[in-house]
Chains A and B, each alone.
Chain A
Amino acid sequence: EPEVTQTPSHQVTQMGQEVILRCVPISNHLYFYWYRQILGQKVEFLVSFYNNEISEKSEIFDDQFSVERPDGSNFTLKIRSTKLEDSAMYFCASSGGQALYEQYFGPGTRLTVT
């Protein structure tokens, strides 16, 4: 069964460094999303991406964040200058086809900012 994959599974970085989190969405999906989950809390929407542009973003998704689809398979989230409070699980999701609003999540990347 097709699934969303994410790399790396765990990223440790120092405050102020740039990080890029990578995702490979389900191949026939056209909508891509990033969410984050701070430890012990609910999942929060960051951004959605369709047709090579951002279609919606939340208040969390400020100028420090950017997304890109560099090729036909990858979808990335970049955090320009990480802060301690960026430490969280970051989930990529995708949707498409007949079940347009059914979002399928990847296993996540645990980002630890020290």
Chain B
Amino acid sequence: GQQLNQSPQSMFIQEGEDVSMNCTSSSIFNTWLWYKQDPGEGPVLLIALYKAGELTSNGRLTAQFGITRKDSFLNISASIPSDVGIYFCAGREGGADGLTFGKGTHLIIQP
């Protein structure tokens, strides 16, 4: 099946730092979504992207749909303790219903 490469696998940062993570695919996606998952809970939708080149913000979060439609990145500015968690990218191929998820980026914030 379709594979998404998400990097980095984990990030150790200081509070207040900016964060950047990305996903790449060998195939084209029509939709990119970014989710955050806290331990023992379901993924929470952060940002949805629909067009190549689209740049969308949600508070301190900014995500972009790559021009080639094969990649996306998520930036978090001025990180705070509650940003800790696992961030997943997810893509939807044309004609498909199901999302393909990346393996996640584990964000750890050091005080």
Minimal Cβ-Cβ distance residue in A for B44? A105
Q: Is B43 engaged at the interface, CB distance under 8 Å to the other chain?
A: yes
* Residues of A near any B CB (own CB < 8 A): 4, 31, 33, 35, 41-48, 50, 55-56, 58-59, 91, 99, 101-108, 110
* Residues of B near any A CB (own CB < 8 A): 1, 30-31, 33, 35, 40-45, 48, 50, 88, 90, 92, 96-104
Q: Which of B44, B88, B97 contacts A55 (CB 8 A)?
A: B97
**B97 engages A33 (CB within 8 Å):** yes
**B97 engages A107 (CB within 8 Å):** no
Once bound together, how far apart are the Cα atoms of A59 and B103, in whole Å? 19
Q: Which of B30, B42, B102 contacts A107 (CB 8 A)?
A: B42
**A108 engages B96 (CB within 8 Å):** no
Once bound together, how far apart are the Cα atoms of A104 and B46, in whole Å? 10
Q: Which residues of B contact A47 (CB under 8 A)?
A: 98
Q: Which residues of A contact B90 (CB under 8 A)?
A: 43
Q: Which residues of B contact A101 (CB under 8 A)?
A: 30-31, 33, 48, 50, 92
Minimal Cβ-Cβ distance residue in B for A50? B97
Once bound together, how far apart are the Cα atoms of A99 and B92, in whole Å? 14
Minimal Cβ-Cβ distance residue in A for B42? A105
Q: Which residues of A contact B40 (CB under 8 A)?
A: 108, 110
